[in-house]
Amino acid sequence: MEELASLFHGFGVVLAPFNLVLMMVGITLGVLIGVLPGLGGANGVAILLPLTFAMPPASAIIMLSCIYWGALFGGAITSILFNIPGEPWSVATTFDGHPMAQQGRAGEALAGAFTSSFIGAFFAVVLITFLAPLIAGFALRFGPPEFFAVQFLTFCSFVGMGRGSAFKTIAAMMLGFALAAVGLDTVTGQLRMTFGTTELLRGFDFLIAVIGLFGIGEILLSMEEGLSFKGGQARLNATVVFETWKKLPRYWATFVRGALIGCWMGITPGGATPASFMSYGIAKRMSKDGAKFGKGQLEGVIAPETAAHAAGTSALLPMITLGIPGSPTAAVLLGGLLIWGLQPGPLLFVEQKDFVWGLIASMYLGNIAGLIVVLTCVPLFAAILRIPFSVIAPVIVVICAVGAFTVHNAVFDVYLMLVFGVLGYIFKKLDYPLSPLVLALVLGDMAESAFRQSMLMSGGSLSIFWSNWLVASIIALGLALLLWPVVAWLVGAVRRTQQPAAST
Amino acid sequence: MKRFLLRSGISAGVFAAVAMLAAATTPAAAWEPTRQVTIIVPAGTGGGADQMARFIQGVVSKHNLMSRPLVVINKAGAAGAEGFLEVKGNKGDPHTLIITLSNLFTTPLSSGVPFNWKDLTPVAMLALDEFVLWVNNDAPYKTAKDYLTAVKNGQPGEFKMGGTGSKQEDQIITVALEKVTGKKFTYVPYKGGGEVAVQLVGNHINSSVNNPIEAVAHWRGGKLRPLCVFDEKRMPYKDKMTETMSWNDIPTCHESGVDVDYLMLRGMFMPAGVKQEQVDYYIDLFKKVRATPEWADYMEKGAYNQSFMTGKEYRDWLEKAEKRHYELMKEAGFLAKSN
């Protein structure tokens, strides 16, 4: 119960009026940052970092981490309303969130997304409060083979997601891998597929591709389909939040799975984006309504949002205890710790009690405050869809362009975004799925590095992937998920042959 | 873009005329920035160079050292080539600075991307970053000699050295160590130094050459052991970091009979074609930054080598460092075909 005493001490730190104000400022800024695609949590925190210089470290981390919570909440808003993921981890939220908005259920989707974000985060914070030192050690078991295994598992849980042709899914995924390979190869230090151009040196950023494929592609489609938003005529009421809450308890299993996947991916550290994809993939397989996923299932919003927020929160744990950032934003916060003169690591819990427990307490309060802020705004957000398309579409295009520019401060990326927009439109027209492309683009690079690091370590032998129980069991789980359709089909086939035999 | 250049050309002309007038009336009004100044970081957010740039930004704004805002942006593409090429292209722009690490030398040599430090105007060396040979605290090796003897007696490739990136500073040091032992390491490249340190704590690799700041937390936590520092002199910091040791207690590699030393540049550059008075303004600015108590504290936390150089001294250092990198990388076979 020592943790509880420390936690209450932490609450004392956060509840100082100055810190409370900073918390609210942080949440509001964070939601804005989350809404703007491209200006991710990492950029937002990095820009504001020097401003926190004159503050005590505890106040500074409270404000910056609240920006992060705000961004985690805010990412869902544009995903659901306009099919534009405000943050990488809300890509999976678009799959069902946007169809829901098109059916006039934007309020329900938003309320569901925010509530599940909160539940995911809350689960992770409780975990951090009581099990931090225990779990921190677990992250140390992860070397390159284990990382590859986790990424392999993410791919496997997601394969078979695309409806329709398996060939089209594979084609989209391969295109994603090819795009991910452009730029500098970390393992050999060689440039790949840049064809001597300066612009291609930095490779294809996942965010720019996503803004183009989803945002611009969606605008192009809407233009073709009659210059209006579907779902704009839905009735609006203030009680939508409570109506949604009534539906949520029946999805308890999805919440638990999402939170577990999220915490696991945040700690190991796989990150919030893969966590949201993995959670969506697994929810689709496990749900009895799996076939309806992608057409506007509330469960398809809950799964990725719970996991993303749980991962985003638990990513701070390896940062504090080990100094390894579990996400890009955590990496910037880590830089902040050093600038404030704090040394992350196991001793932080002993030497900087105010700081650590203030941070943990701000996770509780920041998330509660964030939830209240965003939930009260749900009808407001949903009303945006009522603005005429001809007014809002140019605004969206401008926001997308600004977002694409912000990622690397490069004008070339704005053109690139437009190209991706056309590509997204063509993909939709030809009925190619976008999600495998996006998944390959975000994970391809990481998976490749981890695989090749493993190969370097083992001298080229694949046996490194079953050299210990941890990596072997993750790989086995991945293979099981990958082969599940085949296994299910085989079992079915065996039954079918047995049944006639039994009946005669 | 053309119009913009034209306009800035005119305004520069007007400015020059005004400046001349001013110079005629008042003696030597020093140059000052006329708009926002940007520090480009040719590396990702959260790394050593990024931290230093943002730290400087914080110190400058806290102590009001500049009349115009200072912003930091990251241009990390292709091991920093993106950032260097941008500064190379901004000829004559006195409002752009770039903070460099060793990729100033290694990136063009290994990737063949066309730039060289001579395409930039050197401003000041802010500090040098140290490298330390680390092993896991559970490993039996107490000195650099113990460890390298074990490497020598092992199979080629038996010992795994983790490092940041490929054909960059960490791998260059590894190759230098291989020359001493005559046995190959298996070099495993990671994306960042913090990750390497954690991999060493988790025993996934046998050793690393992490910068002090990347590994200090694990050293203090009793997980890692420093064997030697790759510098000619010991680090000067005498405050105890663990129960028994300070940075100063770590022997140099030379003391342990390993003749390898390597320091990484943390320096500032401007685009080519800027005026001396503009360079002088920033030299003066960095002198003020270095005089703050925050800077002293930051240097100690990261156990930096606090060398500060400007002008000819700095140029000579760069000249020598470039030559050294060329030789080391040529020997290791890291040069791109075009070099």
pLDDT tens for residues B128-150?
A: 999 999 999 999 999 999 999 99
In this prediction, residue A127 carries a pLDDT of 85
Instruction: Please report the pLDDT score of residue A39 as a whole number.
Output: 66
Task: Measure CB to CB from residue A345 to each of B186, B187, B221 and give the nearest one.
Answer: B221
- B31 interfacial to chain A (CB closer than 8 Å): no
**CB-CB: which of B54, B199, B217 is closest to A335?**
B54
Tokens representing A125? 């914070």
Residues 84-123 of B with CB under 8 A from A: 85, 110-113
Chain A touched by B137 (CB under 8 Å):
no
Interface probe for B, chosen from A47, A48, A49, A207 (most Cβ of B below 10 Å), is A49
pLDDT tier at B1 (50, 70, 90 boundaries)?
A: very low
Cβ-based contacts of A344 with chain B (< 8 Å):
217
Of A46, A186, A345, the CB nearest to B165: A186
Q: CB of B168 within 8 Å of any CB in chain A?
A: yes
Q: Supply φ then ψ for residue B227, to 5 degrees.
A: -100, -45
Mean pLDDT score, B240-264? 89
pLDDT tens over chain A, length 504 residues? 577 787 888 888 778 888 888 888 888 888 888 777 666 667 777 777 777 777 888 888 888 888 888 888 888 888 888 888 877 788 888 889 888 888 888 888 888 999 999 999 999 988 888 877 677 677 778 888 988 888 888 888 777 555 567 788 888 888 989 998 888 777 777 778 878 777 787 788 887 888 888 888 888 888 887 766 665 555 556 677 788 888 888 888 889 999 999 988 887 767 788 888 889 888 888 888 777 888 888 999 999 999 998 988 888 877 777 766 666 677 777 777 766 777 766 677 777 777 888 888 888 888 888 888 888 887 777 777 777 888 888 888 888 888 888 777 788 889 999 999 999 999 988 888 888 888 888 788 888 888 998 998 888 888 888 888 888 988 998 888 788 777 777 777 787 777 665 544
What length is written for chain A?
504
| Nearby residues of B15 by Cβ (< 8 Å), 6 or more positions away | B34
pLDDT, one tens digit per residue, over A150-190 is: 888 888 877 755 556 778 888 888 898 999 888 877 777 77
How far is residue A276's CA from residue A308's CA, in Å, rounded to a whole number?
5
How far, in Å, CA of B284 to CA of A37, rounded? 39
Per-residue pLDDT band for B6 (boundaries 50, 70, 90) equals: very low
CB neighbours (10 Å) of residue B319? Answer: 12
Identity of the residue in B73, B167, B216 whose CB atom sits nearest the CB atom of A409: B73
The rounded mean pLDDT for chain B is 84
**Residues in Cβ contact with A491 at an 8 Å cutoff, skipping those fewer than 6 apart:** none
What's the confidence (pLDDT) of residue A336?
A: 76
Question: Do A51 and B72 count as a contact with CB atoms less than 8 A apart?
Answer: no
Please report the pLDDT score of residue B35 as a whole number.
86
Among candidates A49, A203, A456 on the partner chain, residue whose Cβ is nearest the Cβ of B77: A203
Judged by CB atoms closer than 8 Å, whether chains meet at B46 and A186 is answered as: no
A409 vs B contacts (CB less than 8 Å)? 73, 75
Contact check, Cβ <8 Å, A184/B59: no
Q: Which residue of B has its CA nearest to A138?
A: B202
Q: Is the dihedral of CA B158, B159, B162, B167 positive or negative?
A: negative
Q: What is the pLDDT of residue A325?
A: 65
B9: pLDDT strictly greater than 70: no
How many whole angstroms separate alpha carbon A410 and alpha carbon A266? 30
- Mutation site for B-interface testing, chosen from A55, A324, A356, A446 by largest number of B Cβ within 10 Å: A324
Strand-strand pairing, B37-41 and B70-74: parallel
Query: What value does the mean pLDDT take over residues B10-30?
Result: 48
State mean pLDDT over B261-279.
90
CB contact under 8 A, A341 and B85: no
Residue B206 has pLDDT above 90, yes or no: yes
Distance from CA of B89 to the nearest CA of A (A): 11
Task: Give A16's DSSP letter.
Answer: S
Write down the pLDDT at residue B26.
Answer: 45
Q: Residue A198: which of B74, B85, B111 has the nearest Cβ?
A: B85
CA distance linking residue A311 with residue A154, whole number of Å: 14
In chain B, positions 272-331, which contact chain A (CB-CB < 8 Å)? 297-298, 301-302
B197: which chain A residues are within 8 Å (Cβ-Cβ)?
323
Chain B residue numbers with beta carbons less than 8 Å from the beta carbon of A325 are: 46, 194
Query: Which chain B residues are within 8 Å of A332, Cβ to Cβ?
Result: 45-46
Cβ neighbours for A160, distance < 8 A, ≥ 6 positions apart = A166, A169, A484, A485
**Contact between chains at A191 and B110 (C-beta distance less than 8 A):** no
Kindly determine whether residue B55 and residue A194, on different chains, have CB atoms separated by under 8 Å.
no
Comparing A42 with B244, the larger pLDDT belongs to B244
Q: Is the pLDDT of residue B19 over 50?
A: no
Pairs of residues, one from chain A and one from chain B, whose beta carbons lie less than 8 Å apart: 155
The Cα–Cα gap between A170 and A499 comes to 35
Residues 50-79 of chain B whose Cβ lies under 8 A from any Cβ of chain A: 50-51, 54-55, 57-59, 61-62, 72-79
Which pLDDT score, from 0 to 100, does residue B151 have? 92
In chain A, % of residues over pLDDT 90: 7
What is the Cα–Cα distance from A234 to A103, expressed in whole angstroms?
8
List of residues 6+ apart from A498 with CB closer than 8 A? none
pLDDT in tens, A452-464: 989 988 888 888 8
Could you say which of B111, B167, B217 has the minimum Cβ distance to residue A323? B217
| Closest in B111, B190, B202 to A184, CB measured | B111
Residue A231 burial by CB count (10 A; 0-12/13-18/19+): exposed, middle or buried? Answer: buried
Q: What is the pLDDT of residues B60-92, one digit of tens each?
A: 888 888 888 888 887 877 788 888 888 888 888
In this prediction, residue B8 has a pLDDT band, given cuts at 50, 70 and 90, of very low
So what's the pLDDT on residue A327? Answer: 67
Token representation of residue A289: 């309504």
Tell me the pairing of strands B186-190 and B207-208: unpaired
Residue of A nearest to B72 (CA): A47
What is d(CA B336, CA B339) in angstroms, rounded to the nearest whole number? 6
Helices (H), A181-237: 206-210, 217-224
